[in-house]
Amino acid sequence: MSSYDRDSNPYLKLNFWEFLALSTVMLLFFPWSILVCLALYGIDETKLIVLAVIEDFAKTLLMVIAVVATIVITIIVLIVMWFKSPDDTVDTNSRFSSEITIYK
């Protein structure tokens, strides 16, 4: 087996629908799909297919985590803003403001 070169993996160059079909079949028939790939394509092609599926799964998982984290943080900020009491507002008429005063 040769070392893995991501740029030469032809399965990462498939379009969305082709790779969706490939990864769905691979995951639905998991143990048997690996054996069929080994028998038909050999160990090097099977390795490329499995690595492409794993890489796609990792990208999808990271994207889902990022979207869920963004939604959760947004909801938390909105809840905090909703329950913020009116007494916590900033008084703009206070004596100690940060404005610059020019004396003549």
Chain segment 48-57, per-residue pLDDT in tens: 899 999 998 9
How far is Cα 10 from Cα 5, in angstroms, rounded to an integer? 10
Residue 65 backbone phi and psi in degrees, to 5? -60, -40
Residues 11, 22 contacting (CB under 8 angstroms)? yes
Residues 20, 52 contacting (CB under 8 angstroms)? no
How far is Cα 9 from Cα 45, in angstroms, rounded to an integer? 9
Neighbours of 55 (CB within 10 A): 14
pTM of this prediction? 0.64
**Domain boundaries in the chain?**
6-84
Chain segment 78-103, per-residue pLDDT in tens: 998 888 766 555 555 666 555 666 66
